[in-house]
Amino acid sequence: MIKTDVVIIGAGPTGLFCAHQLGIIGLKCEIVDNLDKIGGQCIELYPDKPIYDIPAVPECTGEELTKNLIKQIEPFSFNFHLNDRVQELSNNNSVWFVKTTSGKEFSTPNVVIAGGVGSFEPRKFPTKSAEKFDGKSVLYSIKDKTIFKDKSVAIFGGGDSALDWAIELSNTSKVSLIHRRDEFRGAHASVQKVKELSEKKIINLFTKYSIKDVKGNGSLEEVEIKSEEGESKTIKADYVLGFFGLIMQLGPIAEWGLNLDKKTIPVNTENFETNKKGIFAIGDICNYPGKLKLILSGFHEGALAARGCFKYARPNEKYRFEFTTASNTIKDRLGVK
Amino acid sequence: MAKIKYIEHNGKEHLIEVPNGLTVMEGAVQNDIPGIDADCGGGMSCATCHVYVKEEWHDKLPKKEMGEEDMLDQAYEPKSNSRLSCQIIISDDLDGLSVYMPEKQV
């Protein structure tokens, strides 16, 4: 059991800056994120896209913003728990017990939910028959590529993941690549390579087709694809891979007894506390009159939520407002002279 | 102002007058019509405001901008008449438009 002042759920820009504010006021925190890297949507959805509305930063990419936020909290040496998801929250005498999917446990007076629109999960095939093979021969990510050696693999999708895996696996497997249109959104070089491999009959390329059905007795045997005109084809397949990007699911957050408004959590605008004492929500996931889903709003929300956490983490101390320019205490915390 | 017909996957219809300048997505969200999630709030960064548009309307609507088709690749059951409803801006010309919701968004 890890004891801390605050558990932050979500390592996106809002969660990171909230951690910074906690560090500034002398609190400790632990940060949990479902993704395998720090940065949230900034890193997962638009690492290379420029952002133009971070105050005093005319232009930066999602990746640059994340790097700077990580650098800004370095002095506090907070722990990150990546590739892990908060599953359960329970409460006993104003202490929250937080349990993650991997089995980590925290005890804390405060939880800050900075979860964006929930956790990222792969979009799955719409085909019902794919469900019974899910995780066995119908896959949405690759952990061990050796399982595909000398097998027939049908890959669906038109982005970099689909193209890269089609190219890579075509060395050792019989690969079919199926995409719903004849343009691909992946890198130009990969698209060229796939077309080249298709001309050499190394990859079977099917464009303007989508999945219709997967078939097999016990193990997967074939996948049926259809065109919009209704024409169908059957391809032999030991494995079917789908790369349709990630969708965001609220997931376990919906089970914690918080008031919800669609997929958002209503909060007060004084300290961004939810209907549960000691549970705060900031960033895209919170909702209040006038809410803007901007990173800059998330920074403000995080700063106020951090002060809200102080009250429960240090019930016998009075919070004193200080500027980073003037306070020696803060300079000590930052390790600057 | 345009009257837009939102048709849920189960066939239930909602006829809504949407002011010019809003998007088809905003018309749905502001009137609590189920079936359009719009997780990203209209930024063409998710695919959860996906709708189908009848062929005859598909050609009359403003063309897709770069990026919309890429995003639609990641939608639930995209077809050639798929659009992201956050990218369709209401004008008088769209009066009478019907949009069909997919079975689900996520």
Alpha carbons A211 and A223: distance in angstroms, whole number: 7
List every span in chain A annotated with CATH 3.50.50.60: 2-121+247-334, 124-244
The reported pLDDT for the residue numbered A63 is 95
pLDDT bin (cut points 50, 70, 90) of residue B63 is: confident
The answer to whether residue B57 is domain-embedded is yes
Tens digits of per-residue pLDDT, A17-52? 999 999 999 999 999 999 999 999 898 877 888 999
Residue A93 has pLDDT above 90, yes or no: no
Question: What share of chain A has pLDDT > 90, as a percent?
Answer: 89
Tens digits of per-residue pLDDT, A262-300? 889 999 999 999 999 999 999 999 999 999 999 999 999
Instruction: Name which of B42-46, B76-80, B88-92 the model is least confident about.
Output: B42-46
The answer to whether residue B52 is domain-embedded is yes
> In the predicted model, what is the mean pLDDT of residues A243-255?
89
Alpha carbons A150 and B97: distance in angstroms, whole number: 51
Q: Are A310 and A25 in contact (CB under 8 A)?
A: yes
Q: Nearest residue on chain A to B47, judged by CA atoms? A: A247
CA dihedral A192, A188, A245, B11 (to 10 degrees): -80
Q: Which domain holds residue B70?
A: 2-100
pLDDT bin (cut points 50, 70, 90) of residue A57 is: very high
Cβ neighbours of residue A260 under 8 Å, at least 6 residues apart?
A254, A266
Alpha carbons A140 and A245: distance in angstroms, whole number: 9
Write the DSSP assignment of chain B as a string of letters: -EEEEEE-TTS-EEEEEE-TTSBHHHHHHHTT-TT---TTSSSSSSS-SEEEE-HHHHTTSPPPPTTHHHHHTTSSS--TTEEEGGG-B--GGGTT-EEE--S---
The answer to whether residue B55 is domain-embedded is yes
- Identify any residues that bridge with A224 across adjacent strands, giving them in sequence order: A213, A234
Using the Cβ of A123 and the Cβ atoms of chain B, whether some distance falls under 8 Å is answered with: yes
Contact residues, chain A, for B78 at CB < 8 Å: 180, 210
- Tell me which DSSP letter residue A314 carries: S
> In the predicted model, what is the mean pLDDT of residues B91-103?
96
> In the predicted model, what is the mean pLDDT of residues A235-247?
94
pLDDT bin (cut points 50, 70, 90) of residue A331 is: very high
Residue B85 has pLDDT above 90, yes or no: yes
The answer to whether residue B11 is domain-embedded is yes
pLDDT bin (cut points 50, 70, 90) of residue B30 is: very high
The reported pLDDT for the residue numbered B102 is 97
Q: What is the SS3 string spanning A72-102?
A: HHHHHCCEEECCCCEEEEEEECCEEEEEECC
**Tokens 């999630």 correspond to what residue?**
B37
Shortest alpha-carbon distance between residue A313 and chain B (Å) = 33
> In the predicted model, what is the mean pLDDT of residues B37-54?
89
The reported pLDDT for the residue numbered A48 is 84
3-state secondary structure (DSSP) of residue A180 = coil
pLDDT bin (cut points 50, 70, 90) of residue A335 is: very high
Mutate to test the interface with B, among A45, A48, A52, A117 (most CBs of B within 10 A): A117
Residue A309 has pLDDT above 80, yes or no: yes
Q: Which helix (H) or strand (E) holds A305?
A: helix A295-313
Mutate to test the interface with B, among A156, A247, A262, A295 (most CBs of B within 10 A): A247
- Portion 58-117 of A in contact with B at CB < 8 A: 117
> In the predicted model, what is the mean pLDDT of residues B42-61?
89
CA dihedral A133, A138, A142, A144 (to 10 degrees): 50
The reported pLDDT for the residue numbered A117 is 83
The reported pLDDT for the residue numbered A103 is 97
3-state secondary structure (DSSP) of residue A224 = strand
Strands (E) across A152-257 are located at: 152-156, 174-179, 203-207, 209-215, 222-227, 232-236, 239-242, 246-249
In the structure encoding, which two tokens stand for residue A196, read together? 């080249």
Q: Are A225 and A238 in contact (CB under 8 A)?
A: no
Residue A83 has pLDDT above 80, yes or no: yes
> In the predicted model, what is the mean pLDDT of residues B48-68?
90
Alpha carbons A81 and A71: distance in angstroms, whole number: 17
Domain count of the fold of chain B: 1
pLDDT bin (cut points 50, 70, 90) of residue A249 is: confident
The reported pLDDT for the residue numbered A251 is 87
Total number of residues shown for chain B: 106
Pick the CATH number of A124-244 from 3.50.50.60, 3.10.450.50, 3.40.1280.10, 3.40.50.261: 3.50.50.60
- Count of CB atoms situated within 10 Å of the CB of B52: 20
Tens digits of per-residue pLDDT, A109-149? 999 999 998 888 899 999 999 999 999 999 999 989 999 99
Shortest alpha-carbon distance between residue A267 and chain B (Å) = 18
Tens digits of per-residue pLDDT, A158-208? 999 999 999 999 999 999 999 999 999 999 999 999 999 999 999 999 999
The answer to whether residue B105 is domain-embedded is no
What class is the A2-121+247-334 domain?
alpha beta
Using the Cβ of B48 and the Cβ atoms of chain A, whether some distance falls under 8 Å is answered with: yes
What is the CATH number for B41?
3.10.20.30
**Tokens 């709030």 correspond to what residue?**
B41
Q: Are B76 and A126 in contact (CB under 8 A)?
A: yes
Q: What ipTM describes this predicted complex?
A: 0.87
- Tell me which DSSP letter residue A196 carries: H
Q: In this complex, how many residue pairs, one in chain A and one in chain B, have their CB atoms less than 8 Å apart? A: 50
Half-sphere CA count of A21, side-chain side, radius 13 A = 23
Work out the mean pLDDT of chain A and round it to a whole number. Answer: 95
Alpha carbons A17 and A40: distance in angstroms, whole number: 13
